[in-house]
Every structure is written in C-alpha cells, then in structure tokens.
C-alpha cells in the first residue's frame, strides 16, 4: 500500500501495455485490447504503449483517447519505426494521444519502464514477448 500521508499527490497511475502492431488472428484479441482501454478509463489510469497506430496497439490507444482524453495516452516510438509505420508522421494527438519519438528501442523500453506503475501484455509476436 502506498502512503500518501506526506501530502504529496501521486502522479496518475500508469499502465504500460505491450501488444502487437497487428490485429492478430482472432476478433477476441481486438476485443481484449478495447476492454483493457475501458478498464484503464474506468480507473482513471494512464496508458504508455509502443506508439503504433495499427493493430492491437492502435486499438488500445484509440479506444482510451475516445473514452478519456488525449493526455491519458503516451506512445513511445523509435525514429526508425515512425518512418516505417507512420510514413514519417506523428500520429494525431486527438486520436492517439501524445507520441514521443526516441532514437532507439533501448530508449523506448527504458522510458516505458520509468513511466509505468504496472505492465500488461496482450497478444503479439516476438517483439511483444521481448519487451515483456
């Protein structure tokens, strides 16, 4: 249990979600991503995720932004991936929340870890497993 007796208000509880940049092989995976976003919203928790706009990653971010507010979602994406996945454009804040562009995967993972209080993994591939 966290002790708040010092009068300092804690920063918002933040959950890091690792998941695939594809929708997966079952509609249940997409429904699970949307359910996680609903749970975050219900508890007024923030999201940190890999910064993608497609697949399960995009679904979690989009759903939470639509239920809460853009500043409840922080995507962290390496520069090389934003060129590949986003055609070099930063995703719209009003749809995917704030996106932070970093130099490499190591920095991405370090930032995601520092910003998070808890971690959740949804279906994904080798990248999801490696990050978890």
> pTM above 0.85?
yes
Question: Where exactly are the structural domains of the chain?
Answer: 20-131
What digits encode the pLDDT tens for the residues 83-128?
777 677 888 999 999 999 999 999 999 999 999 999 999 988 888 8
Residue range 20-131 in CATH 3.40.50.450: yes
Radius of gyration of the chain (CA): 14
Predicted confidence (pLDDT) at residue 14 exceeds the cutoff of 60:
yes
Token pair of 16 as six digits: 């890091």
> What are the pLDDT digits (tens) for 24-60?
889 999 999 999 999 999 999 999 999 999 999 999 9
Judged by DSSP in three states, 130 sits in helix
Here the tokens at position 97 are 């929340």
Going edge to edge, which strands form the sheet with 118-121?
98-102, 73-78, 46-49, 14-18, 118-121
User: Which is higher by pLDDT, 3 or 73?
Assistant: 73
Q: Are 20 and 132 in contact (CB under 8 A)?
A: no
């Amino acid at each position: 249990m966290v002790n708040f007796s010092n009068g300092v208000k804690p920063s918002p509880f933040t959950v890091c979600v690792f998941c695939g940049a594809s929708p997966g092989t079952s509609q249940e995976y997409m429904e699970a991503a949307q359910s996680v976003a609903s749970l975050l919203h219900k508890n007024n928790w923030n999201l940190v995720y890999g910064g993608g706009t497609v697949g399960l990653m995009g679904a979690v971010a989009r759903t939470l932004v639509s239920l809460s507010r853009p500043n409840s979602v922080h995507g962290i994406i390496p520069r090389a991936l934003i060129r590949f996945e986003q055609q070099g454009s930063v995703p719209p804040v009003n749809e995917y929340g704030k996106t932070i562009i970093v130099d490499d995967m190591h920095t991405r993972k370090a930032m995601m870890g520092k910003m998070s209080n808890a971690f959740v993994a949804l279906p994904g591939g080798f990248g999801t497993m490696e990050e978890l």
